[in-house]
Amino acid sequence: MDTDVVISGAGPTGLLLGAELALAGVRVRILERQKTRHEQSRALTLHPRSIEILELRGIADRFLSLGRTVPGWHFAGLSRQLDFSALESRHGYTLFLEQARTERLLEERARELGVEISYGHEVVALAQDSDGVDVEGTGPDGDFRLRAAYLAGCDGGRSEVRESAGIGFPGSDGTMSAMLGDFAVVDQDELAAAERGSALIVPLTSGLTRFVLTDPKRMRVPATEPVTFAEFREALTESAGTSFGIAEPRWLSRFGNATRLAESYRKGRVFLAGDAAHIHFPAAGQGLNTGLQDAMNLGWKLAAEINGWAPPGLLDTYHAERHPVGQLVTDNTQAQTLLLELTLVPDYQRPVHALRELLDSLLDIPEANARLAGLVSALSTSYPAPGDPLLGTRMPDLPLGSARVSELVHRGTFGYVDFTGDSTAQVTEGWPNRIIAATGSKHTWTDDVAEALVRPDGHLAWVRRESDPPDAAAREAAITAWAGAAARR
Ligand SMILES: Cc1cc2nc3c(=O)[nH]c(=O)nc-3n(C[C@H](O)[C@H](O)[C@H](O)COP(=O)(O)OP(=O)(O)OC[C@H]3O[C@@H](n4cnc5c(N)ncnc54)[C@H](O)[C@@H]3O)c2cc1C
């Protein structure tokens, strides 16, 4: 084998997956078609669960120090905001951070951990057998071939890995498109004074100004059709009554609502994550966030398999857990896009206005707001399992003396907390280097939890309630089901 895992694509998903694998000592090589990192940023947001997973590795501050936070986010462009600050999280906000910066920080992290990233290397074909995957590509020195135990396709919506592996990508073609433009020159006085119409205007940290336009006259133009500066300026003027003096376009792009979800996130030794597994309109900014969370779910499981301690079936839980999340995201973005699309149809102006007012009034109900906020922030993402309703939910980042739960999993291990007794010795001796154990004191989270096993991705693998007496054999069985067999004593 040339390496344990080849990752196709150095976007946010591939970079985080590479870092997660390397953290567990796995040899990983990322192949990226582009010659250099992307300078443009499609995404501008990191939502709460993404910040939480970065916190689980102790690197959230790197991202927070470069962006700015807002307490909520929109859903379908409704006037009433989703309130992330009301959700139970230490990170109840959206971080405005351009994708290019997010990628730079993820690349730094991956390189620190020893990931080899090869720019200018395109994956063009693959063949897998029972022992590994042959990956064929083209690079600066000509064609190449690599053999790895596993291949992860993090190569975006037009994924070659997905195609070559023969994984279906059912869904629908786009019915509408929108345009974005990043400009170096904008008349700031006009910007401050003018009506903005349907244009969304975002100052970027790079000093550029982004305009996003949904234009009734152009909404049926295929997303593949390039945008010209003249077209953009005309559409902006029609929408806002002024072109805001835009000049020096740095990026013009059209994007649409084609929506597809891979039928399987795994085929043998090939995995899909991020846009390679799901595409949709960027409604409420969820694509990059979902990709990061795919990577976080897959990384430790694939590493466990390669490092030889994965319990049977662990690797299959990746598809079982993340495909339903992809379904939720592709469904909610389609619902949002339909509302947006109807808003642009002149005949529906009045009824759609009424519908929007009705939905806004529902978002005034805290429970309704929290339901959608949980969905978009991904804080309500759960991987339910038979037994206790807490299983599969996010473990809150509770204080443990001067530390916190998240610190237990900084190195990609499991975390174990005993809140009422001290069974940490059994856990530490049984699973050295695989579980970091700590005692916790009485907490308000759910005050009858006596013991908790936290997965490396921060979800709960096992809990014991106080009503059940401590039981070393039951504990060992529960831990073995997730963290593999205990070391021989
Ligand atoms: C206008 C717009 C705004 C958006 N805003 C947001 C937002 O605010 N929040 C959010 O969460 N999401 C947003 N998104 C979505 C987000 O940009 C994507 O979901 C995200 O980039 C997906 O990351 P990825 O790593 O899975 O794929 P990508 O970012 O597409 O990365 C894939 C990488 O694979 C490389 N590659 C492709 N083929 C090959 C090959 N054969 N061999 C080697 N390398 C290859 C590509 O060059 C690329 O670098 C937005 C999207 C658009 C279009």
Is the same domain home to 288 and 321? yes
* d(CA 324, ligand 1 centre) in Å: 20
- Please state the domain count of the chain: 3
Please give the distance, rounded to the nearest whole angstrom, from the Cα atom of residue 156 to the centre of ligand 1.
Answer: 5
Separation of CA 279 and ligand 1 centre (Å) = 9
Q: Is the pLDDT of residue 489 over 80?
A: no
Report the C-alpha gap between 93 and 376 in whole angstroms.
11
Distance 340 CA to ligand 1 centre (A): 22
Residue 441 has what pLDDT? 86
CATH number of the structural domain spanning residue 250: 3.30.70.2450
SS3 of 361, please? helix
> Are 223 and 126 within one domain?
no
CA-proximal residue: ligand 1, atom 1 (nearest): 42
Give the pLDDT confidence of 123-138 residue by residue, as tens digits: 999 999 999 999 999 9
The pLDDT value given to residue 164 = 98
How confident is the model over 85-98, as pLDDT tens digits?
Answer: 999 999 999 999 99
What pLDDT, in 10s, does the model give residues 337-381? 999 999 888 889 899 999 999 999 999 999 999 999 999 999 999
Is 40 domain-assigned?
yes
162-189 average pLDDT score: 96
Instruction: Return the DSSP state at 450.
Output: E
Please state the atom number of ligand 1 nearest to the C-alpha of residue 178.
1
Are residue 372 and residue 423 in the same domain, yes or no? no
For atom 14 of ligand 1, the residue with the nearest CA is: 43
3-class SS of residue 347: helix
Q: Are residues 321 and 290 in the same domain?
A: yes
Give pLDDT tens digits for 405-456: 999 999 999 999 999 988 888 899 999 999 999 999 878 787 799 999 999 9
Q: How far is the CA of 144 from the centre of ligand 1 (A)?
A: 25
* E strand or H helix at 146: strand 142-153
pLDDT at 8 over 70: yes
If asked whether residues 207 and 310 sit together in one domain, one would say no
Residue 449: closest CA among 385, 384, 378, 396: 396
Return the pLDDT at 196. Answer: 58
Q: Residue 487 has what pLDDT? A: 83
Q: How far apart are CA 374 and CA 314, in angstroms?
A: 26
For residues 443 and 398, is the Cβ–Cβ distance under 8 A?
yes
pLDDT tens per residue across span 324-336: 999 999 999 999 9
Listed residues 236, 256, 276: the one ending a domain: 256
Residue 472 has a pLDDT of 93
Q: Are residues 247 and 283 in the same domain?
A: no
322: in domain: yes
pLDDT at residue number 373: 98
- What's the whole-number mean pLDDT along residues 69-91? 95
pLDDT, tens only, 36-54: 999 999 999 999 999 999 9
Residues in the chain: 489
Atom index in ligand 1 nearest the CA of residue 294 equals 26
Same domain, 412 and 312: no
Same domain for 123 and 98: yes
Same domain, 440 and 460: yes
**How high is the pLDDT of residue 191?**
83
Nearest ligand 1 atom to alpha carbon 275: 26
Domain with residue 421: its CATH number is 3.40.30.120
Domain closes at, from 198, 222, 256: 256
> Mean pLDDT over residues 146-160, rounded?
98
How does pLDDT run across 224-272, given as a tens digit for each residue? 999 999 999 999 999 888 899 999 999 999 999 999 999 999 999 999 9
3-class DSSP assignment, residue 115: coil
The per-residue DSSP string of 6-70 comes to EEE--SHHHHHHHHHHHHTT--EEEEESSSS---S-S--EE-HHHHHHHHHTT-HHHHHTTSEEE
Instruction: Kindly state whether residue 383 falls inside one of the protein's structural domains.
Output: no
Give the model's pLDDT for residue 422: 86
- Report the nearest atom of ligand 1 relative to the CA of 274: 26
Q: Is the pLDDT of residue 35 over 60?
A: yes
DSSP string, 405-431: HHHHTTTS-EEEEESSS--HHHHHHHS
Buried b (16+ CB within 10 A) or exposed e, 202-215: eebebebbbbbbbb
Residues 324 and 367 in one domain: yes
Ligand 1 atom showing the smallest separation from residue 287 Cα? 19
Rounded to whole angstroms, how far apart are CA atoms 329 and 236? 30
Burial of 383 (0-12, 13-18, 19+ CB in 10 A): buried
Closest of 183, 191, 187 to residue 248, by C-alpha: 183
Q: Which residues line ligand 1 (CB under 6 A)?
A: 8-14, 31-34, 42-45, 99, 122-123, 154-156, 160, 180, 255, 274-275, 282, 285-289, 291
Instruction: Report the alpha-carbon distance of residue 295 to residue 152 in Å, rounded.
Output: 10
Query: Can you tell me the distance from the alpha carbon of 67 to that of 83, in angstroms, rounded to the nearest whole number?
Result: 19
**Least-confidence region, from 16-25, 189-198, 385-394:** 189-198
Atom in ligand 1 nearest the alpha carbon of residue 288: 11
Residue 130 lies in a domain: yes
> What's the CA-to-centroid distance between 281 and ligand 1, angstroms?
12
Rounded to 10 degrees, the C-alpha dihedral 99/100/101/107 comes to: 110
| Residue 394 falls inside a structural domain | no
Is 290 a domain residue? yes
Closest protein CA for atom 38 of ligand 1: 155
Residue 290 has pLDDT above 70, yes or no: yes
Ligand 1 mean position to 270 CA, how many Å?
A: 19
Q: Which two tokens stand for residue 259?
A: 């929506």
The answer to whether 84 touches 53, Cβ cutoff 8 Å, is no
Last residue of a domain, one of 256, 273, 290: 256
Choice between 270 and 199, residue whose per-residue pLDDT is larger: 270
Which residue out of 50, 119, 288 has the highest number of ligand 1 atoms within 8 Å of its CB and is therefore the one to mutate? 288
Q: What distance in angstroms lies between residue 392's CA and the mean position of ligand 1's atoms? A: 28
Inform me whether the pLDDT recorded for 278 exceeds 90.
yes
Residues 217, 347 within the same domain: no
Share of the chain above pLDDT 70, in %: 99
Structure-token pair, residue 330:
């592709």
Residues 181-192 have a mean pLDDT of 90
Give the pLDDT of residue 320: 98
Same domain assignment for residues 269 and 369? yes
Q: Compute the distance between CA of residue 317 and CA of residue 481 in angstroms, rounded to an integer.
A: 12
What is the secondary structure of 235-304 as a DSSP string? HHHHHHSS-TT-EEEEEEEEEE--EEE-S-SEETTEEE-GGGTEE---TTS-HHHHHHHHHHHHHHHHHH
Give the residue numbers spanning the domain of 268: 3-171+260-377
Per-residue burial over 414-453, b if 16 or more Cβ lie within 10 Å, else e, is: bbbbbbbeebbebbbebbeebbbbbebeeeeeeeebbbbb
pLDDT at position 195 is 62
C-alpha to C-alpha distance for 296 and 289, rounded to whole angstroms: 11
Tell me the pLDDT of the chain averaged across its residues. 95
Residue 238, domain member (yes or no): yes
In a domain, 388, yes or no: no
More confident residue, 190 or 106: 106
CATH number (domain holding residue 125): 3.50.50.60
Work out the angle at residue 296's Cα, subtended by the Cα atoms of residues 293 and 302, and round it to the nearest 5 degrees. 135
